[in-house]
Amino acid sequence: MIKKSYTIEEVARARISAVLALGHSKTALGALIRHVIVSVGTARNFEQCLRDFLRWQVAQGVSIDAPVVRADIQYYLRQESLRWRQKTLDQHRQALSLVFSVALTHFNAEVPTITVGRAYTVEEMELIANRQAPHNALGTRIAFHSGLRASELFELREAHEFMPEPNRPWRDDLFTGMPDGVIYRTVGKGGLARSVWIPKELHRELQMRRLATPVTIIDRKVRRTAWFDVGGGQALSQSFSSTSLRVFGLSRGAHGLRHAYAQGRLETLLEMGLNPMDCLEIISQELGHLRPDISLAYTTKRKSHAPEN
């Protein structure tokens, strides 16, 4: 019998599939959560990391189906630490540790990580939204004022239609200090269902765009259900970035809208006299992270603003 020859892509996909647990909640998985992948986005990123490793392996003259030992991976990461930034290095370490079930040493990347503020001002956001198609303009404004990821705009529903994920340490003072608005729900990263606040005027515009029948949208290989005709996902990100390039000659990405939300909330909560750690926890839950330390990544201020046209 002739043994089939597999490609790097096929091997990477098969190995990632072996640790996939899509559709299962983190609460139900319990301690197993550390040994599986529950997000399509993480699966996609980890599969790319595995392809990188397999290509390196082939370049060393090793077959892609040869046994992999911890020393091989350590040597690979040590080499790549000379040309990668820390975030890229850490992601590859996490992916390979999970796929090959080995504990790997943390390496410090030799390429420095330069932290640059990404937040857009409300004036800059409006200059972009005013040049977008109406459904994308609405998505841009909601993402800015409500802190949503682009993909979460597809999943928006009114608060009474479903509840945020139970058994989570939700604070009872979320959206403190917000002006008049309406609570919606959405499904975010890792399938986390949470509450979001939307300004009253955007709520009215959103309701005017309610679809007669929900539609299914495939966004970055993830199947989502949309109840409103509002821009979201990869299409909105591309629209936002291309429009920002036309208006300002640069783009900080649609994620810069979440940065703006976080920074605005931090300023509001601190002005209200809240403890800084409480501020970070509130922001993390409103952004759908549930880890206060992650909020710090959104607080870097920009050194200069893009010129207005």
Indicate whether 179 and 232 sit together in one domain: yes
pLDDT surpassing 60 at residue 1: no
pLDDT surpassing 90 at residue 2: no
Indicate whether 58 and 140 sit together in one domain: no
Please report whether residue 309 resides in a domain: no
| Per-residue pLDDT tens over the stretch 221-238 | 888 999 999 999 999 999
Indicate whether 82 and 128 sit together in one domain: no
Helical packing angle, 134-146 and 200-208, nearest 10°: 150
Local confidence band at 309 (pLDDT 50, 70, 90 cut-offs): very low
Closest among 145, 202, 206 to 175, alpha carbons compared? 145
State how far the Cα of 247 lies from the Cα of 249, in Å rounded to an integer: 6
CA dihedral 9, 12, 15, 18 (to 10 degrees): -60
State how far the Cα of 126 lies from the Cα of 132, in Å rounded to an integer: 10
State how far the Cα of 22 lies from the Cα of 28, in Å rounded to an integer: 12
| Per-residue pLDDT tens over the stretch 234-283 | 999 999 999 999 999 999 999 999 999 999 999 999 999 999 999 999 99
Cβ atoms of 144 and 163 closer than 8 Å? no
pLDDT surpassing 80 at residue 201: yes
- Quick one: average pLDDT of 87-104? 94
Indicate whether 131 and 275 sit together in one domain: yes
Local confidence band at 204 (pLDDT 50, 70, 90 cut-offs): very high
Counting the structural domains of the chain, the total is 2
Domain range for 287 is 122-298
pLDDT surpassing 90 at residue 31: no
Indicate whether 243 and 149 sit together in one domain: yes
Quote the pLDDT of residue 32. 82
Please report whether residue 171 resides in a domain: yes
Quote the pLDDT of residue 116. 65
Per-chain mean pLDDT for the chain: 89
| Per-residue pLDDT tens over the stretch 151-200 | 999 999 999 988 887 878 899 999 999 999 999 999 988 788 899 999 99
Please report whether residue 80 resides in a domain: yes
- Quick one: average pLDDT of 40-52? 91
